Amino acid sequence: MKQRVTKAVFPVAGLGTRFLPATKSVPKEIMTLVDQPLIQYAIDEARAAGIEEFIFVTARGKSALEDYFDHSPELEARLAEDGKDKLLEVLKSTYMPSGAIAYIRQHQALGLGHAVWCARNLIGDEPFAVILPDDVIAAEKPCLQQMVEAHRETGGCMVAAMEVPNERTSSYGVLDVEPGSGNAMKVRGMVEKPKPADAPSNLAVIGRYILSPEVMKHLDSGEKGAGGEIQLTDAIAKEIEGPRGVYGYRFAGERYDCGSKAGFLQATVAFGLAREELRDEFSQYLQEMMAFRSAAQ
């Protein structure tokens, strides 16, 4: 009998240096995409997938992230007093039940694999999800929910996968999959950040994972990989020959790399245009701006 996936790890210890000076005082995960911080999109996706326990791997300077999920009695009272019921409901949607959220410190930046390993004592002997908040995915059915449903059939480890341009493979973990159809593809090899000439495909791993507890055992060794860091991809790859195997899941949706400035801006435009109350005014502005730029050239 396959176990339900009810725990998720959120590695949020990074410094966010690409967004300095904003991230000097504000954790990158609190930066807003339209009117929600990146971490809220990740939490909402996890909730939709049935996640009940949320484990944040943090570092110094992340207290604002922890405060975000706490109750705010003064603000609640003010909104209630002013009759702003809709805003009050929005505020309450950011709260987490007591005991549902835990914070673990990563004292050294040793890589994504190390960040996930820091949560080992809270994971125990259960399958678990990993969500990287930098990867924001717009989808009719949330990406992790798609994966959880597929994982009920496959078991083992599962990684979200998408096609990238060949010249970009050196920025990702890349999959070698068995021929066949369907969204869940059996993986026969994984390479972390290969040169384009050495990449087995252009199918890249992005920031959604469902992992077996055996992955934590592989991470125990502290073995370093590409870039001198403890790579999560390397630990997952050791499960390829295991009894349950590893699957790449080709999800339905559009992924935005909000760890880069260009990706963050692209996501802002896409999510802004998706909002009914913003669409007309925002779309008109973009059209006028593009027309002005064309006329000026």
Q: What is the CATH number of the domain that holds 59?
A: 3.90.550.10
Please tell me the total count of domains within the chain: 1
- pTM score: 0.89
56 falls within a domain: yes
* Residue range(s) defining the domain that contains residue 197: 7-259
Between strands 203-211 and 173-177, the pairing is antiparallel
On the CB side of 127, how many CA atoms lie within 13 Å of its CA?
23
The span from the first CA to the last CA of the chain, in angstroms, equals 64
Task: Please provide residue 248's backbone torsions phi and psi, each rounded to the nearest 5 degrees.
Answer: -100, 130
List pLDDT tens digits, range 154-188: 999 999 999 999 888 888 889 998 887 689 999 99
pLDDT tens sequence across 195-248: 888 888 889 999 999 999 999 999 988 788 777 888 898 899 999 988 889 999
Q: Which residues, 6+ apart, have CB-to-CB distance to 157 below 8 Å?
A: 209, 210, 211, 212, 215, 236, 239, 244, 245, 246, 247
The answer to whether residue 267 sits within a structural domain is no
Q: Is residue 268 in a domain?
A: no
Share of the chain above pLDDT 90, in %: 51
